[in-house]
């Protein structure tokens, strides 16, 4: 174990990040560009360091959510193209040209606004246009004629990519994804017939990649979850998962104190757990402010001394109580594993999410800012 000075920390494997990126690249082949998604601080893994690993592996594009996230990467020296997937607000516009950011636009009318920005900057600005094919969130439902007219009316604002986003890519009991793919192909074909042929076309994120929806890959894919070692399970008659990735992050916390308590002791806020017999308890230096879901109260587990042990009572803001009755050798200052592998025991974000009734994305992104990120090469 490393980082002995930390109370609560995650270890992120640079090697795993690189291997996961290569696994995606090998699966989709040389004709498909891989644009890793590093939004939300790289799903809690640390966007700057993760992006450095990805850029060193040959990633020519990175995807973020906001201009602020893109600014952080540019200030850290990242040179890859950066796609800002939720576009830009008026006060963020001035950052686009000097930082070489590529916004996603969600309305053909926004092309004219970008054209004016490009004229002010004295240089062309590229953009990707998002088509709403059924997510009913961001994106345009304008027809091909309207889109083509707006694209052709601009000289300095240049369409570089056409994209969409699937709402139910992992649900093979539903035909929604197939319907979205058809709608996207129809608008793409109509645009090409009108003389608008974007260099990049993309629709697939991790699930569509991993389950082999090749018709959705086009010439660019946007893996997010897979870069960090996860592929969400599908529903219905899904094909075999074609992508093999491994979690890149493990999460640890120190034991603050160990106590022997008698039967009938009530543990934590609300006294929601009462010891049925004499027990040994440990108090961990991590709570919901660090990202342990409060809904794990009384139902979550951690790994102590190589064994899975239960959480007891309510998860507090700064501490969590665990049952150490079966682990008599654990002492104050020892580390336990909140997420990861220790001995023969393992907890990953998907297991934690099932116990908490949430998503593995939420577990990873919820790891708090005060949790130290430590990067390892192994």
375 is catalytic: no
Q: What angle do CA 303, 304, 310 make, to 5 degrees?
A: 65
Catalytic residue, candidates 39, 43, 288, 361: 39
Q: Which residue of the set 43, 127, 269, 301 is catalytic?
A: 269
Alpha carbon separation from 211 to 170, 186, 207, 216, 237 (Å, rounded): 8, 23, 6, 11, 11
Q: Name the nearest CA neighbour of 68 among 50, 92, 90, 37.
A: 92
Residues of the chain by 3-state class (helix, strand, coil), percent to 5: 30, 25, 45
Is 130 assigned a catalytic role? no
List strand residue ranges (DSSP E) for the chain, in order: 8-13, 33-34, 61-64, 81-84, 101-105, 125-130, 157-163, 200-202, 220-221, 249-261, 266-267, 273-274, 279-284, 301-304, 307-312, 320-323, 335-342, 345-347, 372-376
- In angstroms, the Cα distances linking 32 to 24, 26, 84, 101, 208 are 10, 10, 20, 21, 14
Which value, to the nearest 10 degrees, does the dihedral of the CA atoms of residues 92, 97, 100, 103 take? 50
User: Where in the sequence numbering do the catalytic residues fall?
Assistant: 39, 269
């Amino acid at each position: 174990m490393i980082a002995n000075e930390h109370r609560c920390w995650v270890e992120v494997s640079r090697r795993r990040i690189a291997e996961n990126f290569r696994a995606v690249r090998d699966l989709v082949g040389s004709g498909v560009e891989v644009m890793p998604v590093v939004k939300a601080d790289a799903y809690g893994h640390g966007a700057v360091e993760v992006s450095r690993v990805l850029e060193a592996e040959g990633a020519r594009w990175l995807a973020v959510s906001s201009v602020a996230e893109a600014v952080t990467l540019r200030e850290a020296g990242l040179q890859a193209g950066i796609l800002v997937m939720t576009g830009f607000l008026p006060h963020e516009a001035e950052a686009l040209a000097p930082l070489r950011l590529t916004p996603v636009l969600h309305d053909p009318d926004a092309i004219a606004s970008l054209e004016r920005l490009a004229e002010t900057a004295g240089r062309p600005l590229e953009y990707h246009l998002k088509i709403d094919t059924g997510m009913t969130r961001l994106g345009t439902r304008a027809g091909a004629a309207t889109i083509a007219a707006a694209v052709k009316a601009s000289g300095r604002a240049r369409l570089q990519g056409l994209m969409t986003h699937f709402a139910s890519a992992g649900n093979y009991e539903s035909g929604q994804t197939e319907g979205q793919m058809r709608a996207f192909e129809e608008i793409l074909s109509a645009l090409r017939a009108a003389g608008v042929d974007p260099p990049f076309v993309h629709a697939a994120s991790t699930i569509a990649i991993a389950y082999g929806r090749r018709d959705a890959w086009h010439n660019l894919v946007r893996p997010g979850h897979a870069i960090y070692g996860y592929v969400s399970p599908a529903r219905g008659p899904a094909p075999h998962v074609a992508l093999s990735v491994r979690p890149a992050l493990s999460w640890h916390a120190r034991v603050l104190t160990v106590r022997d308590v008698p039967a009938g002791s009530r543990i934590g806020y609300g006294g929601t757990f009462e010891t049925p017999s004499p027990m040994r308890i440990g108090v961990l230096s991590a709570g919901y402010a660090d990202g342990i879901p409060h809904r794990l109260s009384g139902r979550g587990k951690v790994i102590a001394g190589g064994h899975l042990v239960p959480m007891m009572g309510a998860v507090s803001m700064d501490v969590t109580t665990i049952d150490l009755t079966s682990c008599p050798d654990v002492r104050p200052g020892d580390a336990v594993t909140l997420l990861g592998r220790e001995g023969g025991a393992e907890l990953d974000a998907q297991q934690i999410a099932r116990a908490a009734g949430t998503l593995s994305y939420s577990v990873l992104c919820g790891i708090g800012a005060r949790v130290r990120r430590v990067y390892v090469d192994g």
